[in-house]
Amino acid sequence: MALLNILHYPDARLHTVATPVETFDAALQTQIDNMFETMYEAKGIGLAATQVDYHKRLVVMDISEDHNERRVFINPVIIEKEGETVYEEGCLSVPGIYDKVTRAERVKVRAQDATGAEYELEADGLLAICIQHEIDHLDGKVFVEYLSELKQGRIRTKLKKREKQNM
């Protein structure tokens, strides 16, 4: 397995709309394994393929504390949304930035697993938030884009300043 490079906001590649996965093979499984390794190393709970510059509709997720509930969503589509909740979100592509985002409280998603088998999942709480957040990535949207223009500008400035300090 290999660690992948995570793109950081405002990298334009984060706005690429991912295309459907059509081939379910060993190369896809390697990509899934590498994404899990990258996500765990970065201390994340979800990672969309777009974030690692792989523009296919693939998400890996594990919201458990023990890293023992690996979930794979391939070609995910939210087919039902219900309620509304506000949650303070963060993102591996926007390190160190957290802000409140309004999302559906419950979702029902249709996706495929690593073998191509289709399934449906109903989720609420953190899992529902994470599903919506990661599908946004596949659609070329980063969570900070739910915030005001002023906040987005401040975040870009903060991240650029931090990048310069790390050079």
Q: Which residues are catalytic?
A: 134
91 belongs to an annotated ligand binding site: yes
Q: Is 67 left (phi over 0), alpha (psi -120 to 50) or beta?
A: left
What's the pTM? 0.95
Burial class of residue 8, CB neighbours in 10 A (0-12, 13-18, 19+) = middle
Whether 159 has a pLDDT exceeding 90, the answer reads no
Report pLDDT for 101: 96
Report pLDDT for 1: 80
Q: Is the Cα dihedral 104, 106, 110, 116 positive or negative? A: positive
Report the SS3 class of residue 95: strand
Could you give the domains of the chain?
12-166 (3.90.45.10)
Q: How confident is the model at residue 162 (pLDDT cuts 50, 70, 90)?
A: confident
Task: Identify whether the C-beta of residue 74 lies closer than 8 Å to the C-beta of residue 117.
Answer: no
Mean pLDDT value of segment 46-56:
98
137 belongs to an annotated ligand binding site: yes
H or E segment and range at residue 112: strand 106-112
Strands (E), 42-84: 46-48, 58-61, 71-82
Q: How confident is the model at residue 109 (pLDDT cuts 50, 70, 90)?
A: very high
Mean pLDDT value of segment 69-82:
98
Report pLDDT for 32: 98
133 belongs to an annotated ligand binding site: yes
pLDDT in tens, 3-28: 999 999 989 999 999 999 999 999 99
Measure CA 67 to chain center: 17
Measure CA 18 to chain center: 12
Task: Identify whether the C-beta of residue 4 lies closer than 8 Å to the C-beta of residue 33.
Answer: no
Q: What is the mean pLDDT of the chain?
A: 96
Number of neighbours of residue 18 by Cβ within 10 angstroms = 20
